[in-house]
Structure 1
Amino acid sequence: MSNDPYMARTLRENIDRLKQRADRAARDAPLGDRLAAAITRFAGSMAFVALHAVLFGGWIVWNLGWIPGLEPFDPSFVMLAMEASVEAIFLSTFVLISQNRMAAAADRRGDLDLHISLLTEHELTRLAGMIERIADRVGAGSDPEIEEIKQDVSPEQVLDALEEPGPPPSQT
């Protein structure tokens, strides 16, 4: 991070606004999405792994008859397999719900990035024109590439070119 106090303050403010927005989005999410996110967070933790190691290990040890006085209740492990399969179905569904929510957020961030990039491109195009006029006034001459730089980029044309079949255009 820069020692410039303005940058530090600006960065801090931006980070705080982004955190507030993320907190608000998480808080305002539908109950099902919040539940799926909580389950997915837990299922992706070492506590989940440890819990399953203990539960499944205990189930297996019990049903192998290794614990004196405890009669096996699932000697063929059919119930264990069924329980694990049902759990896998639900866990994968919760993960997909969470991924869908994260993908939607990534799409919104991508749209924001595109809008900011287009705005920046437009502003830089305008600045290039202004710099050329200043250079003309002070007699500094003109850069031959300035005409290309002064042209606004059409996002529709760029998207159309990207969607054309075949190899991507070469960059030179």
Structure 2
Amino acid sequence: MDISTDSPCRERSPDMASVVERNIEALLAKRRQEEQNKGLQDRIADKVTRFTGSLLFVYIHLVGFSLWILINLGWTGLPVFDPTFVVLAMFASVEAIFLSTFVLITQNRMQAHADRRADLNLQISLLAEHEVTRIIALVSAMAERMGVDTADYPELSELKQDVAPEQVLDKIEETKEQFSSEVEKVSG
């Protein structure tokens, strides 16, 4: 497949395999599609989160709060409008509530993306494990047919077996529970 004609990536790097370039293009296309499919609420949440996470936001607050404090301390000659700073505290509290909500919305969406990537990685790993298992079985059969002694590799019979992911997950949970109970015994 010629990358220069089949994808937006026009110049093909001589140091990179075409499959790598194809995968990069596929991932970028998927991200572009996800960005285009975002709803208005997600776009607003992203923009608010991006802005509130910027230094400009910090500078605006630094200037605004400084002026508010200086005015209400009577240092500017302007009329004092919040001598006890109750309004400033209320404003800051309400703003914090909204900002934390926007951050949580963004984090929830990021977590959903991370979960999807983790699922994809697991599927790819399971596929790779299955393929390697089949390759080991094939190479073992070839070695046997050629009369190559594989007695020095006793783990081959185990490696030729497919891994059952549910059993691995169960074993991980069982081991965690054993570890937790051992820690409780030692610390308790």
User: Same fold by TM (over 0.5)?
Assistant: yes
Give the structure-2-normalised TM-score.
0.82
CA–CA separation in structure 2 for the residues paired with 1:103 and 1:154: 26
Specify the alignment match of 1:149 in structure 2: 159
* Alignment-mate amino acid for residue 138 of structure 1: M
Question: Deviation at 1:6?
Answer: 7.0
Q: Which ranges in structure 2 are unaligned for 5 or more consecutive residues?
A: 1-12, 181-188
Give the structure-1-normalised TM-score.
0.89
Question: Deviation at 1:61?
Answer: 1.1
Question: Deviation at 1:145?
Answer: 1.3
Aligned counterpart in structure 2 of residue 63 of structure 1, from 72, 84, 101: 72
* Alignment-mate amino acid for residue 139 of structure 2: I
- 5 Å-filtered alignment, 1:84-103, equals 84-103=92-111
CA–CA separation in structure 1 for the residues paired with 2:64 and 2:20: 47
Answering whether residue 125 of structure 2 is matched by residue 117 of structure 1, we say: yes
Question: Deviation at 1:27?
Answer: 2.2
Answering whether residue 170 of structure 2 is matched by residue 160 of structure 1, we say: yes
Q: Which ranges in structure 1 are unaligned for 5 or more consecutive residues?
A: none
Aligned counterpart in structure 2 of residue 105 of structure 1, from 103, 107, 113: 113
CA–CA separation in structure 2 for the residues paired with 1:19 and 1:62: 51
Match of 2:178, SS state, is: coil
CA–CA separation in structure 1 for the residues paired with 2:110 and 2:43: 12
Aligned counterpart in structure 1 of residue 84 of structure 2, from 76, 100, 115: 76
CA–CA separation in structure 2 for the residues paired with 1:141 and 1:59: 84
Aligned counterpart in structure 2 of residue 11 of structure 1, from 20, 34, 37: 20
Question: Deviation at 1:10?
Answer: 3.0
Q: Whose relative contact order is higher, 1 or 2, with alpha carbons under 8 Å and at least 6 apart?
A: 1
* Alignment-mate amino acid for residue 99 of structure 2: L
Aligned length: 164
Runs of 4+ in 1 over 6 A off after TM superposition: none
Identity, in percent, stands at: 54
Aligned counterpart in structure 2 of residue 37 of structure 1, from 43, 46, 49: 46
